[in-house]
Structure 1
Amino acid sequence: MTRYGCQRAHQERRGAAFLALVRAWAAGAVVLVFTEYAQATLVYDYVATGPRLETFGGRLLLIHLPNALCIASAAWAAARVHHEPYRASTPRHLTAAFAVPVVAQLLNMAVQWEELAAEGLLLSNAVLVVGCVAGYAGDRLQDGD
């Protein structure tokens, strides 16, 4: 194979690897949007009333736990869509699984920065880590690792 042919094959592999990441991110974004919408319409509109959110346990149960489930679902979906041979690379697979929840968290913090309290900031970042780890663990368990 000529030098030009090798370079072209390498570029095609890089392009395919990037497309696999984009596909995983799209799946994670769709799942995150759908689950967050369901959370907002079901939990926030019907269950999360003012008196229930006054206590730490109420906020943990009605805000942060459902958020962890949404993040875990998005990370799991993105990881499941990220197929071989690209998922064999741990850094690429972690990027595929965690990019959407991390970017969503950064956007959420940027939008609500003025209103964030220390408790909300710490708990939402803890929820991000727990959700990402749970989603990734679910993916690895399905692979039998």
Structure 2
Amino acid sequence: MRRYGYQRVRPQRRGAAFLALVRAWAAGAVVLVLTEYVQATLVHDYVATGPRLDTFGGRLLLIHLPNALCVAPAAWAAARIHREPYRASTPRHLTASFAVPVVAQLFNMAVQWEELAAEGLLLSNAVLVVGCVAGYTGDRLQDEA
């Protein structure tokens, strides 16, 4: 609508930015739950047996690597669903991308706090960082293409 030689712009609704975040978080949560379910039913039930988890390499291969393969698509899905114009804000986009995996990690650590060893704590946090960076990088690469 034109008025006095300038274009009047309708202001965005106040909660639109928050709703865009919630939508991204919901997508990330759904992907994380589905991938973790597949991991728990396939890897943990059939492959990750006691003797295989006794070695560091076994734990890395059967616990931490599959966790990274769950975190990365969750961060990617949340980042892809986060819509414009809110994607242009780097802090908002990072919050949309990383919130679900970080909250899931904090919840997991809180639930298993008494059983956590230093190795598990360090590796699970490293997996979180690697998965989040991989998912975010995948999103940014798709934006450039």
TM-score, length-scaled by structure 1 = 0.91
Q: Which runs of 4+ in 1 moved over 3 A?
A: none
How far 1:50 moved relative to its partner? Answer: 0.6
Q: Which residue of 1 aligns with 2:16?
A: 16
How far 1:9 moved relative to its partner? Answer: 3.5
Aligned length in residues = 137
Q: Which residue of 2 aligns with 1:39?
A: 39
Q: Which residue of 2 aligns with 1:97?
A: 97
Between the aligned partners of 1:50 and 1:112, the Cα distance in structure 2 is 19
Q: Runs of 5+ in structure 2 lacking a partner? A: 1-9
Q: Which residue of 1 aligns with 2:138?
A: 138
Q: Decide which structure has the larger Cα Rg and report it.
A: 2
1:108-144 Cα offsets, whole Å, 9 max, x none, are: 0000000000000000000000000000000001111
Percent identity at matched positions? 88
Q: Which residue of 2 aligns with 1:111?
A: 111
Between the aligned partners of 1:53 and 1:109, the Cα distance in structure 2 is 19
TM-score, length-scaled by structure 2 = 0.91
User: What's the Cα RMSD here?
Assistant: 1.5
Q: Whose helix fraction is larger, Structure 1's or Structure 2's? A: 1
